[in-house]
């Protein structure tokens, strides 16, 4: 219910501004790669950090969208993420993401059964408050957005058995993104208020810490051409569950716009220890289409 009210509030903020301007509807119009890619949670951003950018290639005069498929192949686990998002007038983003986390052989060792799969659905909304990350090159003010993600893990019994307090949770975040064009740099910093264990796949809150904590997501990238960006990301995560230590996540990535509507991202991600299985690092591959 609270979630629904929030969405309505966001929409009502967006709508009154539009008809008065009577701007001619226009699809597309964002510069290549300036809408970023999609995170494993479905929001517009980097691969693991949500940014202040709004998904889709639309400008303030249109509606855009994006869809993505991401695979993270870890030594013991496989994470797949599918998602879609809509961008309204480069102001509001609505997103849906679905994650599957296959425990493969490790599932047996964990007592869950071979190939036991955790999953979650994530519904998100983001509102751009101020700033223009791309065009405001004479100001320090970044583009700043606030967002919400409602997450529902699908293995209620198991996540409670490992110590999670709930199988549903809501993340709130504020993100600041800035393109420093003269230097060819993209910088992002995000503060997330969350109680999600392993993004929410292992539920929310736990026997270690029950409530939310503030976590940080950072991205720094260098533009190599108008089509190619390389960079690094960091994401801190809470450590709520007693049975297993949860580590922070890192990645090194290259995003290549192979066509106007298609971006391929290849990364190497280090997700640390997951459910007592240490050193989970491996390739991250994401395909994203946007219009």
Q: Shortest Cβ distance from residue 177 to another protein (Å)?
A: 15
Q: Shortest Cβ distance from residue 240 to another protein (Å)?
A: 43
Binding mask 205-224 for another protein (x = CB under 8 A): ------------------xx
Angstrom distances, CA of residue 190 to CA of 74, 119, 176:
25, 24, 6
Q: Which is nearer to another protein, 9 or 32 (CB)?
A: 32
E-state strands within 134-198? 143-153, 164-166, 168-180, 185-194
> In 3D, which of 211, 219, 203, 197 has the Cα closest to residue 273?
197
First to last CA, the chain: 31
Q: Is 138 in the site for another protein (CB under 8 A)?
A: yes
Q: How many residues bind another protein (CB under 8 A)?
A: 29
Q: Are strands 92-102 and 37-38 parallel, antiparallel or unpaired?
A: unpaired
Q: Which is nearer to another protein, 3 or 141 (CB)?
A: 141
Q: Is 3 in the site for another protein (CB under 8 A)?
A: no
Alpha-carbon gap, residue 126 to 146, rounded angstroms: 6
Identified binder of another protein from the candidate list 6, 11, 104, 136, rule CB under 8 A? 136
Q: Shortest Cβ distance from residue 25 to another protein (Å)?
A: 10
Identified binder of another protein from the candidate list 73, 114, 115, 139, rule CB under 8 A? 139
Q: Is 276 in the site for another protein (CB under 8 A)?
A: no
Q: Shortest Cβ distance from residue 45 to another protein (Å)?
A: 21
Q: Is 68 in the site for another protein (CB under 8 A)?
A: no
Alpha-carbon gap, residue 73 to 58, rounded angstroms: 32
Alpha-carbon gap, residue 289 to 6, rounded angstroms: 28
Residues 245, 257: contact at Cβ < 8 Å? no
Identified binder of another protein from the candidate list 32, 105, 129, 262, rule CB under 8 A? 32
Identified binder of another protein from the candidate list 11, 14, 61, 230, rule CB under 8 A? 61
Alpha-carbon gap, residue 212 to 188, rounded angstroms: 22
Q: Is 181 in the site for another protein (CB under 8 A)?
A: yes
**Which residues 6+ apart lie within 8 Å of 166 measured at CB?**
203, 204, 205
Q: Shortest Cβ distance from residue 291 to another protein (Å)?
A: 13
Judged by the rule CB under 8 A, the positions of this chain that interact with another protein are 21-24, 26, 28-32, 59-62, 90, 132, 134-139, 181-182, 184, 223-226
């Amino acid at each position: 219910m609270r979630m629904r009210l929030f969405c309505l509030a966001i929409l009502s903020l967006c709508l009154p501004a539009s008809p008065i301007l009577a701007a001619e509807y226009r699809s597309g119009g964002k510069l290549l790669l300036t809408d970023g890619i999609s995170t494993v949670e479905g929001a517009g951003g980097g691969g693991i950090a949500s940014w202040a950018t709004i998904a889709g290639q639309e400008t303030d005069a249109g509606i855009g969208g994006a869809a993505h498929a991401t695979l993270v192949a870890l030594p013991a686990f496989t994470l797949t993420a599918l998602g879609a998002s809509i961008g309204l007038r480069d102001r509001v983003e609505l997103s849906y993401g679905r994650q599957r986390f296959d425990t493969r052989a490790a599932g047996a060792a964990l007592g869950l059964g071979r190939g036991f799969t955790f999953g979650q659905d994530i519904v998100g909304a983001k509102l751009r408050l101020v700033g223009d990350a791309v065009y405001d090159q004479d100001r320090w003010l970044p583009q700043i957005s606030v967002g919400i993600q409602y997450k529902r893990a699908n293995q209620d019994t198991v996540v409670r058995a490992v110590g999670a307090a709930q199988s549903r949770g809501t993340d709130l975040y504020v993100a600041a993104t800035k393109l420093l064009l003269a230097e060819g740099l993209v910088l992002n910093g995000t503060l997330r208020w969350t109680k999600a264990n392993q993004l929410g796949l292992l539920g929310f809150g736990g026997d270690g810490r029950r409530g939310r904590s503030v976590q940080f997501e950072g991205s720094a990238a260098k533009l190599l051409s108008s089509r190619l960006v390389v960079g690094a990301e960091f994401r801190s995560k809470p450590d709520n569950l007693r049975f297993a230590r949860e580590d922070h996540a890192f990645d090194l990535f290259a995003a290549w716009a192979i066509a106007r509507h298609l971006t391929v991202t290849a990364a190497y991600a280090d997700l640390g220890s997951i459910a007592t299985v240490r050193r989970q690092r491996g390739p991250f591959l994401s395909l994203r289409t946007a219009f």
